[in-house]
Structure 1
Amino acid sequence: MPRLSSNSSATLVQLQDVRFAYGERVILRGIDLDIPRGKVVAIMGGSGCGKTTLLRLVGGQLRASGGTVNVAGQDLARLSTRELYALRRRMGMLFQFGALFTDMSVFDNVAFPLREHTDLQPELIRDLVLMKLNAVGLRGAATLKPAELSGGMARRVALARAIALDPMLIMYDEPFAGLDPISLGVIGQLIRRLNDALGASTIMVTHDILESLQIVDYVYFISEGRIVAHGTPDEIRASTDPFVQQFIHAEADGPVPFHYPAEPLAHSLLGRGAA
């Protein structure tokens, strides 16, 4: 099955044979994927398979052990620190559980990147912040502190902050984690609508199959540091691939085993193995 895009002019992010390890622990083992301009792409897989590491590689927080990571035609490994920071200002990031500044108001959280990275006048920053908050339905909550927000509201404020600079690329790390069904649906539709309104590209790391397949253009599945399946939502729904079936139907055992590798149980119980 071909990847989503092979046209370099239409591709915003491209990973080619990307490998990464923490010391002796190998995380990614030759990842190839494309994120086209204007599309929403989900990265799925079990916990610890390397999804968040992939986001950090694209964001330049980590450097690949091998292969190339290209964003907007630039090889991240060849950029100076100054060039990398300039590129990162064109990216937005929604961290798992929002990561809002707890001692700042909703308004100041969203204003933070505008104040840090632009020379805009306070009046213009005010107008932009209110517009971003209005886009996520929370203009009326501008004076509240994060502790006064529900989990869904906090995630929407974090989304407003992620799009404050109108990024070309928005990355989401488990945007649906811990949300009730209504908030989950609201966040999902906001991700799709804001991506289209900004003309941005989106990479979304998530475990939520049902919501994701309603809003994304393409899905990559990662297991043991490799891409094991990929396709459009319709292709994923119709897939007979054992890994996809196990993940979609939440089966305990399959290509991803329930048991962590170990010696036979009898050896341990009879005292011939490690405790």
Structure 2
Amino acid sequence: MTSPLVQLDRVRFGYSDRDILTDVSLTVARGQVVAIMGGSGSGKTTLLRLIGGQVKAQSGSVMVDGEDVGMLSEGPMYNMRRKLGMLFQFGALFTDLSVYDNVAFPLRERTNLPETVIRDLVLMKLQAVGLRGAHTLMPFELSGGMARRVALARAIALDPMLMMYDEPFTGLDPISLSTIGQLVRELNDALGAASIIVTHDVTESLAMVDYVYFLSGGRVVGQGTPDEIRASSEPFIKQFINGERDGPLPFHKPAPDYALDLGLAHD
């Protein structure tokens, strides 16, 4: 059995006296599309930052392709990041660059390829997301779904071994949402890569991922295949996938007595 492409082992991370992740272990194998779900503030995006080496775990280990990310110096860290692709929430396109130049950017920055080869690669990546005909447009001329697809083409420009998606479905209409979901799956399979998706979209994710991890309270509180998640009787998972207000994940953040805060309490 091959070793996992990504492996987190009992990872803890926080800021000052506030822990974000307290004990997180998970694995992602090559070829897998894995979703990370949980309430707002549960540490999902922090997990992506740990994998990308933007922050380092206070304890535990974060392994990517056999390397301990927390132990890498600047040069090896840069080389490791060349193997990663990232789709940011809302795309994060360079607003003053055309669609073509947005996708060409990582190729120009990280390779010494001649411009003729870069042109062919850019058009190939845009063809893969259905937007070769939009290569001359500027970002302000794109719809939200089109912008997300251009950002996806840019993210796969260097054929990464690992793709990370931070809320890729946010703000999309149903057609664009379904299109992005299908592209994520198809591109992952075509590249022979692995993908990690941070998302709140239960329906779309369960239709296209291989495995799901649920985060809450800094820990993995549930995991399984889509079929296992749908059949789960675990209270947190049931609350999350059914959108229930009452359950282990509270609607109200802990606070002092409401009447006391309003000055209505009596002795």
Cα distance, 1:271 vs structure 2: 5.5
Residues 73-128 of structure 1 deviation map (CA, whole Å, 9 limit, x = unaligned): 00012111100010000100000000000000000000000000000010000000
Residues 149-172 of structure 1 deviation map (CA, whole Å, 9 limit, x = unaligned): 000000000000000000000000
Task: Identify the residue that residue 242 of structure 1 maps to in structure 2.
Answer: 235
Higher deviation after alignment, 262-271 or 36-45: 262-271
Structure 2 counterpart of 1:28, one-letter code: L
Structure 2 counterpart of 1:64, one-letter code: A
Runs (5+) with no aligned partner, structure 2: none
Write out aligned runs for 1:83-122 (5 A).
83-122=76-115
Cα distance, 1:252 vs structure 2: 1.3
Task: Identify the residue that residue 258 of structure 1 maps to in structure 2.
Answer: 251
Write out aligned runs for 1:5-84 (5 A).
7=1, 9-84=2-77
Structure 2 counterpart of 1:158, one-letter code: A
2:181 is paired with a residue whose SS is helix
Structure 1 counterpart of 2:4, one-letter code: T
Task: Identify the residue that residue 173 of structure 2 maps to in structure 1.
Answer: 180
Say whether 1:146 aligns with 2:146.
no
> How far apart, in 1, do the equivalents of 2:8 and 2:67 lie?
11
> How far apart, in 2, do the equivalents of 1:217 and 1:194 lie?
14
> How far apart, in 2, do the equivalents of 1:64 and 1:39 lie?
24
Write out aligned runs for 1:185-264 (5 A).
185-264=178-257
Identity %: 67
> How far apart, in 1, do the equivalents of 2:79 and 2:252 lie?
45
Task: Identify the residue that residue 132 of structure 1 maps to in structure 2.
Answer: 125
1:61 is paired with a residue whose SS is coil
Question: Any conservation in 2 of the 1:106–1:145 contact (CA below 8 Å)?
Answer: yes
> How far apart, in 2, do the equivalents of 1:269 and 1:103 lie?
49
Question: Any conservation in 2 of the 1:14–1:32 contact (CA below 8 Å)?
Answer: yes
Task: Identify the residue that residue 4 of structure 1 maps to in structure 2.
Answer: none
Cα distance, 1:272 vs structure 2: 6.2
> How far apart, in 2, do the equivalents of 1:189 and 1:77 lie?
33
> How far apart, in 2, do the equivalents of 1:164 and 1:53 lie?
24
Structure 2 counterpart of 1:226, one-letter code: R
> How far apart, in 2, do the equivalents of 1:193 and 1:68 lie?
30
Residues 9-50 of structure 1 deviation map (CA, whole Å, 9 limit, x = unaligned): 241000000010011111001100000111000000011110
Structure 2 counterpart of 1:52, one-letter code: T
Q: TM-score, normalised by structure 2?
A: 0.98
Tell me which stretches of 4 or more aligned residues in structure 1 moved more than 2 Å. 263-273
Q: TM-score, normalised by structure 1?
A: 0.95
Aligned length: 266
> How far apart, in 2, do the equivalents of 1:108 and 1:269 lie?
55
Task: Identify the residue that residue 148 of structure 2 maps to in structure 1.
Answer: 155
> How far apart, in 2, do the equivalents of 1:10 and 1:196 lie?
19
